[in-house]
């Protein structure tokens, strides 16, 4: 048991020393959890008949633009990493997720009412796939979840028309396909 604790502490310290803030170090097991379990809010659960096939940790920014004196969401820009911290995809406006490994992609739209507010962070969401491309990682994806969010909230207060700002965020994205 002591050995497991030492490995965890060593891995954590190594991640901090190697990457520090904003690194793409491997996500923690807590960050990678998600799916159909008690920790996922009912509003963002993947519907039955689907199964989670991928979980990727994202780090990036949520970009906002000032329209009519208020900050409005413009686009995300994030890198997706696998459990080992290897960059495997990109997340951008659409929203769309593209695999940098095999070129496959999924575009999705939020499901009405399927959101879970998170204090100090962008909400958790359930999104339904609109289209997929390619035969790789994102082939046949039916649903995407944005879970375990941190940061990314638009600045408070007014703004100057046309101004833009980007706010760092992190999230766990899960990708589901129809269960056969």
Mean pLDDT, all residues of the chain: 84
Q: Which residues contact 56 (CB under 8 A, 6 or more apart)?
A: 80, 81, 82, 88, 89, 172, 173, 175
**Cα dihedral sign, 147-40-150-124:** positive
CA angle 162, 164, 169 (to 5 degrees): 155
Q: Provide the percentage of residues in the chain whose pLDDT is more than 90.
A: 77
pLDDT confidence of residue 26: 45
Q: Whole-model pTM?
A: 0.81
CA angle 18, 86, 27 (to 5 degrees): 65
How does pLDDT run across 45-88, given as a tens digit for each residue? 999 999 999 999 999 999 999 999 999 999 999 999 999 999 99
Rounded to whole angstroms, how far apart are CA atoms 50 and 48? Answer: 5
When pLDDT is averaged across residues 109-125 and rounded to a whole number, the result is 98
When pLDDT is averaged across residues 112-127 and rounded to a whole number, the result is 98
| Least confident segment among 7-21, 92-106, 125-139 | 7-21
């Amino acid at each position: 048991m002591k050995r497991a604790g030492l490995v965890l502490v060593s891995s954590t310290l190594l991640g901090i020393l190697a990457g520090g803030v904003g690194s793409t170090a491997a996500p923690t097991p807590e960050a990678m959890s998600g799916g159909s379990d008690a920790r996922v809010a009912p509003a963002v659960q993947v519907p039955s008949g689907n199964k989670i096939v991928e979980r990727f940790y994202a780090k990036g920014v949520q970009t906002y633009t000032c329209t009519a004196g208020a900050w409005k969401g413009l686009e995300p820009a994030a890198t997706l990493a696998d459990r080992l911290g290897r960059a495997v995809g990109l997340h951008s406006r659409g929203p769309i997720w593209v695999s940098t490994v095999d070129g496959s992609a999924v575009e999705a739209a939020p499901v009405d009412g399927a959101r879970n507010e998170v204090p100090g962070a962008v909400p958790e969401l359930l999104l339904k796939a609109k289209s997929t491309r390619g035969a790789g990682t994102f082939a046949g994806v039916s649903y995407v979840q944005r879970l375990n969010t941190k940061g990314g909230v638009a600045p408070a207060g007014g703004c100057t028309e046309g101004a833009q700002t980007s706010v760092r965020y992190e999230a766990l994205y899960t990708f589901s396909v129809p269960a056969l």
